[in-house]
Chain A
Amino acid sequence: MIDFGYGLTPSATLKIEKVDNPLFEALHQLEPDVSKCIACGSCTASCSAGVFTEMSLRRVILSLQRGREKETLPMLQHCMLCGKCQLVCPRGINTRHLILSIGKVYKMEDKAL
C-alpha cells in the first residue's frame, strides 16, 4: 500500500516481510531454540516479574519474530533472571540464556541502564 503521508495515526498493521531478518537470524544462530516456542504462555503465567509489570517472554519472542524489537525492551528490563520460565517451558527452551542472548544481539544492555 502506498503511504501518502496524510495519516494522523501510524498503521497498526504488522508488516512481517519488513522484519529485520539479519538481527533475528543472528539470534537464531546463537539460540536455535527461539523458533521452538509454541506460544503456550507457561513462561508468562509463571513469571515473577509479570505479576507486576508487562514482562511476558512469550510476547518478547513473538515481538522479535514480528520485527517489533522496540516493544521488547520495556518488557525485558523487568526480568530478574529467576529462571522459573525455564522450569515450566514444555519445549525445554533455555529461557535465561535466550534472554541474555537477546540483550546481546539487539544491544539492549546499554539501553537498559
Chain B
Amino acid sequence: MSQNIVVIGGGPAGIEASRRLRDLGYTPILIEKEPVLGGHLARWDRLFPDGVEARKVLEPMLADLDGIKYFTDTEVSSINRLKDTWVVKLSNGLSAQVRAVLLTTGFDLFKAEKKEEYGYGIYERVITNADLEDWFKSGAAPQFDDVKVIGFVHCVGSRDEKAGNRQCSKVCCVTAVKQACEIKERFPEATVYCFYMDLRMFGRKYEDLYLKAQKEYGIRFVRGRVSEVSEDIDGHLFVKAEDTLFGKPLKIKMDTLVLMAGMAPAASTAELARMVNVLPGEDGFFLPHSLIDSPCTCAREGVFYAGTATGPKTIPETLSEAASAALAIDRYLKSPQK
C-alpha cells in the first residue's frame, strides 16, 4: 500500500500538489473546508495577462483526481506529533497518521469593509474585484446598467499598516488593469480610471497589458490613493484623491467604484500554526525555512508549504510551488529515517 500524505487546503496549490504526489506513487488525502474544490480560482472569471478563462485551468485539474482521496466540507480538528509521524484528526471523524503534511491553506481576500472610508457595504455602487469577477462570470449586476464613469482603487488593504496588512498583494495591479480593459470591452463609451500608488507590472506580458490599457483602451491612470468616498442623493459616488503627479486634490463623480481587495493571511493560519507548533511570520503568513532556496519546507520536520499560505503569489507561481513541494516531500520520505 502506498504511503498517505495529508494535504490541507483544496485550492490550486493543494490540488496540483496532490496530483504530483499521486504521480510520484503516494496517496494524498486532500482536505477542503468549502463544499467545492478550487479555492478562489473557482470564483474567478478570467486570468491575467491573456484573459484565459479560469475554468480552463481548473477543470482539467478537477477532472484528474483519480488516486486522490479528497474530503470537502471538512476541517482539521487537531494535528499532533507522534514519534516521527503526524496524526491529523478531521471534523468528519476520520483521522490519518502520516509522515508528511502539506499546508496549502491559501489566503483570505482582504475584507474591504474594513476600509470604512471607501464605503464598501454602505454604498451600493462600491464593489470589490471579486464582486466584479462574479458579475463577469454570471453576467448579471443591475447597478452596472449605466456605467459611464468607473474607477478602480488599487492597494485596498495592501501596503496598509493601519489595516494590518503591510505587504504588497502582488497580483492586484495587473488584475485591476485586466478588469479595467474588460470593462472597456463591455462598455466602450465608459471612462475608466485607475487610482494607483505604483504599478507593479513584474510578470511576463504584464507591462504589455499596461501599455495596451493606456494606448488601446484609453484607461486613465491617476497616481494617488483614494482618500474617501461619499454618496450623493441619487446614489452616485464622489471620490476624493490627490493627483500626486499634478500635486493637486481631485474630486470626481462616479457611477461605480471597484476596490482591489488584496491578499490577507487565511484565518486558519494562526490555528494551524499552533497545531504544528510554528510561529507565523510577522505578516501573518506561514514562514518557510528559507524564502530563497527552500520555500516549501517548514521549521517543523515533515511539514511543508505551497502556494499563497506563505504569501501572495500568482497562479503559475502557486502551481510550480505545488510541484516543488511534492518533490520536497518525496525527497524527505525517501531520505533515511533518523
Contacts and interface: CB of A to CB of B under 8 A. Distances in A.
A110 interface: no
Given A36-B211, A66-B243, A13 B220 contact: no
User: For A15, A35, A68, which residue has the most chain B Cβ atoms within 10 angstroms?
Assistant: A35
B252 A16 contact: yes
A69 B304 CA distance: 58
Contacts of A74: none
Given A16-B252, A65-B220, A35 B214 contact: yes
Contacts of A63: 246
Contact of A14 (B215, B218, B220, B251): B251
A62 interface: yes
Interface string A7-51: 000001111110000000000100011011001000000000000
B338 interface: no
Interface residues of B, number: 18
A13 B282 CA distance: 39
B140 interface: no
A35 B250 contact: no
B245 A12 contact: no
B253 A17 contact: yes
Contacts of B55: none
B47 to A, nearest CB: 24
Interface residues of A, number: 21
B142 interface: no
A12 B240 CA distance: 13
B149 A14 contact: no
B248 A14 contact: yes
A36 B248 contact: no
Nearest to A18: B252
A36 B215 CA distance: 6
B249 interface: yes
B244 to A, nearest CB: 10
B223 interface: yes
B250 A16 contact: yes
A14 B250 contact: yes
A36 to B, nearest CB: 6
Nearest to A25: B218
Contact of B245 (A33, A35, A62): A62
A48 to B, nearest CB: 22
Contacts of B191: 17
A28 B243 CA distance: 21
Given A35-B218, A65-B220, A14 B211 contact: no
Contacts of B218: 28, 35
B76 to A, nearest CB: 47
Given A13-B250, A15-B251, A39 B245 contact: yes
B214 A14 contact: no
A85 to B, nearest CB: 17
A15 B191 CA distance: 14
User: For B222, B223, B245, B252, which residue has the most chain A Cβ atoms within 10 angstroms?
Assistant: B245
Contact of B149 (A13, A17, A66): A17
B215 A32 contact: yes
21 contacts: A1-B251, A12-B249, A13-B249, A13-B250, A13-B251, A14-B243, A14-B246, A14-B250, A15-B252, A16-B220, A17-B191, A35-B214, A36-B211, A39-B245, A58-B245, A59-B246, A62-B243, A63-B246, A66-B243, A68-B246, A91-B211
Nearest 4 A/B pairs, CB to CB? A14-B250, A35-B214, A13-B251, A13-B249
Interface of A: 1, 12-17, 28, 32-33, 35-36, 39, 58-59, 62-63, 65-66, 68, 91
Given A16-B250, A35-B218, A39-B245, 7 more contacts: A14-B248, A14-B249, A36-B214, A39-B223, A62-B243, A62-B245, A62-B246
